[in-house]
């Protein structure tokens, strides 16, 4: 019998694709579908062998998340993508090596996530040449918005006319179907009545009536998505963010979330992408409870990275309550990621602080206290509908800088220190850290933009004029300068430490409820770092003996550059102070 390893890579790939399709389309001619997908990806011309369990990252990998038009030039003739590229090169060269540009395609709503043309760059932002130039200087992440497209997309307009491509591209349901269990993050009606040549049809809209869900039961839809992926690879995109991917397969009578076909489609896309570029990375964006989120690692054969959605609400809750018990419990329960997979850590984003990921981690009263505190600091609340007809808070919309302006007791003088502490924790945790651009520069709530756009998420989507932002970053008295300067220092320190490799060993330490601490050890076991954070607004004392520093090693705090000679000494941490105590000097 011929061993699989002895077969040509093209035959191995074909069989893998067949195996995926057998789960997704058991009743169809999957061999023809497999050949079509492989041809679309040009894997019949150039097929590369991916390496299993290979880490495609190290401690120097740090991402910035931004809209293509978050930075605008005073020159009206300069496209925003060009301005963004210039800003990134000016301020982040040798610090940040990856950039996630949020949807840069033509769209009709949701600040880009209702895509009306997948193969174009939105003309007001720039063109594909701008994308290619950015991808030469940074690893570029792009959104693959595959659960839905805009109601203005050509496919949906064709669907309304009974034409191709588009006919059969959208999920239809009967209002009499059992849809009571469907989980979704909106309060709008699930089904949209739509007139077609065959009469009124009811199309599925998980996120709203301008975002119409694509029908992956139709293999022609899958083929279109694979064709889009091929273009993105050609345009220099290396990291694919699968937006809202948990919702892509529907079955009446179920929750329509995380179904087996959904996971198999992720595995299929992984197989196709990594055979085209073994260094490409898939990240799943699944804003769901923690256990369900972890399932998207599969057996190291689905996502390379998963968003650590529980981190933002748990960390904010920790810092406003002065109690890290829930954060410690969560960290202890997080399984170490296998080689070839890792966590994608973020604490602020273009959306908000999601609350679904802390279901089962914070009780109702703790969530209510978190929501109330954020409202006191100017935050807004977005809601989702429950199956009993009631609504429940889904996410908190607020800039992270404002979210940390105080505690449950109110505003105080520790906003900057609390904000820096939050990012120091993120930078040190197992995984790849990702900074929202507005956090890096200390952007505050934008009430004018929220009012102008009429939705809560706009509060944290400010557009800066490049010259104004540069002036604020240069002003030493400005909080923007202080945030930017200190975060740059921490980023540089992280990049130099092997113990901060995304897959380095991590253990939780127990130093009380006001000190959040954990230990990291490099893959070669030569470096240890004890990450110790006072998450309260009062000084805290710890004994170095409590963390068992090895007496034969030399230890120092990387952040303050303080050396420790007495292993029995007591150290006092100021409110929100961070220590990174290491034996590697």
DSSP for residue 139: E
**CB proximity list for 479: less than 8 A, separation 6 or greater:** 401, 416, 442
Cβ burial, residue 389 (10 Å; 0-12/13-18/19+): exposed
For this structure, is 243 an active site residue? yes
Contact 275, 267 (CB under 8 A): no
Q: Shortest CA distance to 186 belongs to which of 459, 461, 458, 456?
A: 456
Q: Is the pLDDT reported for residue 584 higher than 90?
A: no
Q: Shortest CA distance to 440 belongs to which of 351, 352, 560, 348?
A: 348
Contact 151, 211 (CB under 8 A): yes
* pLDDT for 5: 62
Any bridge partners for residue 140, and if so which? 99, 237
Strand pairing class (139-145; 98-101) = parallel
Q: Work out the average pLDDT over 160-178.
A: 97
Q: Work out the average pLDDT over 176-193.
A: 93
Return d(Cα 345, Cα 138) in angstroms, integer.
Answer: 19
The CATH number of domain 505-582, selected from 3.90.480.20, 2.60.40.1180, 3.40.50.300, 3.20.20.70: 2.60.40.1180
What is the secondary structure of 214-244 as a DSSP string?
B-TTSHHHHHHHHHHHHHHHHTTEEEEEEET
Query: Where does the pLDDT of residue 288 fall: very low under 50, low under 70, confident under 90, or very high at 90 and above?
Result: confident
Q: Is the pLDDT reported for residue 319 higher than 50?
A: yes
Catalytic choice (130, 243, 446, 557): 243
Query: Where does the pLDDT of residue 110 fall: very low under 50, low under 70, confident under 90, or very high at 90 and above?
Result: very high
Would you mind telling me the total number of residues written for the chain in this entry?
Answer: 585
> If you search the block for the tokens 């202890």, which residue do you land on?
332
Contact 204, 171 (CB under 8 A): yes
Taking the mean position of all CA atoms in its chain, how far away is CA 489? 23
Q: Which contiguous run of DSSP H or E holds residue 71?
A: strand 71-72
* pLDDT for 535: 98
Which tens digits make up the pLDDT trace of 479-526?
999 999 999 999 999 999 999 999 999 999 999 999 999 999 999 999
Which tens digits make up the pLDDT trace of 388-405?
778 889 899 999 999 999
Return d(Cα 424, Cα 516) in angstroms, integer.
Answer: 11
Return d(Cα 451, Cα 433) in angstroms, integer.
Answer: 31
Query: Where does the pLDDT of residue 98 fall: very low under 50, low under 70, confident under 90, or very high at 90 and above?
Result: very high
> If you search the block for the tokens 């909106």, which residue do you land on?
186
Return d(Cα 113, Cα 341) in angstroms, integer.
Answer: 26
Return d(Cα 572, Cα 514) in angstroms, integer.
Answer: 13
Which tens digits make up the pLDDT trace of 436-485?
999 999 999 999 999 999 999 999 999 999 999 999 999 999 999 999 99
* pLDDT for 4: 61
Q: Is the pLDDT reported for residue 1 higher than 50?
A: no
Query: Where does the pLDDT of residue 252 fall: very low under 50, low under 70, confident under 90, or very high at 90 and above?
Result: very high
Q: Work out the average pLDDT over 203-217.
A: 97
Q: Is the pLDDT reported for residue 244 higher than 50?
A: yes
Return d(Cα 223, Cα 217) in angstroms, integer.
Answer: 11
The torsion defined by the Cα of 128, 133, 139 and 144, in degrees rounded to 10, comes to -10
* pLDDT for 581: 97
**ω into 171 cis (within 30 of 0):** no
Which tens digits make up the pLDDT trace of 5-57?
678 999 999 999 999 999 999 999 999 999 999 999 999 999 999 999 999 99
* pLDDT for 585: 63
Cβ burial, residue 38 (10 Å; 0-12/13-18/19+): buried
Q: Is the pLDDT reported for residue 421 higher than 80?
A: yes
pTM of the model: 0.96
* pLDDT for 108: 98
Cβ burial, residue 572 (10 Å; 0-12/13-18/19+): exposed
Q: Work out the average pLDDT over 233-254.
A: 97
Q: Work out the average pLDDT over 66-78.
A: 95
Return d(Cα 328, Cα 331) in angstroms, integer.
Answer: 5
Q: Is the pLDDT reported for residue 532 higher than 50?
A: yes
**CB proximity list for 374: less than 8 A, separation 6 or greater:** 316, 353, 381, 396, 398, 403
> If you search the block for the tokens 């989120």, which residue do you land on?
293
């Amino acid at each position: 019998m011929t061993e699989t390893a002895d077969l040509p890579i093209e035959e191995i790939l074909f069989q893998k694709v067949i195996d995926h399709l057998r789960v997704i389309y058991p009743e169809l001619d999957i061999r023809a579908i497999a050949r079509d997908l492989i041809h679309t990806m040009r894997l019949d011309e150039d097929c590369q062998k991916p390496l299993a369990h290979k880490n495609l990252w190290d401690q120097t990998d740090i991402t910035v998340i931004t809209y293509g038009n978050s930075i605008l030039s005073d020159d009206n003739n300069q496209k925003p993508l060009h301005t963004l590229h210039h800003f990134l090169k000016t301020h982040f060269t040798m610090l940040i090596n990856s950039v996630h540009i949020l949807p840069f395609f033509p769209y009709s709503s949701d600040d880009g996530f209702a895509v009306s043309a997948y193969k174009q760059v939105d003309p007001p932002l720039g063109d594909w040449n701008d994308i290619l130039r950015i991808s030469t200087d940074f690893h570029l992440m792009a959104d693959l918005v595959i659960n839905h497209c805009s109601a203005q997309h050509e496919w949906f307009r064709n669907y309304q006319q009974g034409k191709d491509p588009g006919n059969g591209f959208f999920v239809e349901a009967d209002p009499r179907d059992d849809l009571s269990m469907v989980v979704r993050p909106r309060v709008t009606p699930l089904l949209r009545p739509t007139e077609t040549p065959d009469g009124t049809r009811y199309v599925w809209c998980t996120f709203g009536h301008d975002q119409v869900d694509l029908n992956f039961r139709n293999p022609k839809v899958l083929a279109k998505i694979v064709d889009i992926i091929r273009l993105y690879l050609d345009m220099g995109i290396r990291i694919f963010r699968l937006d809202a991917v948990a919702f892509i397969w529907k079955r009446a009578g179920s929750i329509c979330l995380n179904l087996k076909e959904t996971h198999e489609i992720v595995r299929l896309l992984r197989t196709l992408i990594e055979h085209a570029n073994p260094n490409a990375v898939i990240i799943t964006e699944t804003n769901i409870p923690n256990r369900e989120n972890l399932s998207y690692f599969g057996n190291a054969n689905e996502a390379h990275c998963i968003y650590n959605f529980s981190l933002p609400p748990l960390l904010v809750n920790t810092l406003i309550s002065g109690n890290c018990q829930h954060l410690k419990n969560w960290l202890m329960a997080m399984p170490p990621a296998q080689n070839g997979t890792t966590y994608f850590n973020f604490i602020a984003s273009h959306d908000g602080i999601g609350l679904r990921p802390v279901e089962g981690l914070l009780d109702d009263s703790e969530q209510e206290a978190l929501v109330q505190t954020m409202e006191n600091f100017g935050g807004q609340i977005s809601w989702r509908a429950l199956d009993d007809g009631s609504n429940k808070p889904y996410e908190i919309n607020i800039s992270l800088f404002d979210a940390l302006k105080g505690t449950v007791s109110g505003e105080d003088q520790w906003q900057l220190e609390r904000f820096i502490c939050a990012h120091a924790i993120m930078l040190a945790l197992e995984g790849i850290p990702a900074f929202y651009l507005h956090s890096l520069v200390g952007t505050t709530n934008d009430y004018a933009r929220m009012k102008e756009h009429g939705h809560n998420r706009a509060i944290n989507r400010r557009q800066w004029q490049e010259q104004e932002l540069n002036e604020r970053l240069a002003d030493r008295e400005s909080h923007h300068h202080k945030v930017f300067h200190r975060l740059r220092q921490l980023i540089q320190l992280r990049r130099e430490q092997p113990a901060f490799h995304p897959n380095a060993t991590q253990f939780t330490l127990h130093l009380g409820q006001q000190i959040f601490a954990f230990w990291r050890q490099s893959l070669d076991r030569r470096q240890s770092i004890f990450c110790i954070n006072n998450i309260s607004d009062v000084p805290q004392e710890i004994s170095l003996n409590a963390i068992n520093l090895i007496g034969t090693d030399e230890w120092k705090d990387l952040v303050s550059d303080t050396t420790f000679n007495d292993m029995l000494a007591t150290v006092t941490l100021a409110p929100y102070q961070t220590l990174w105590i290491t034996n590697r000097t």
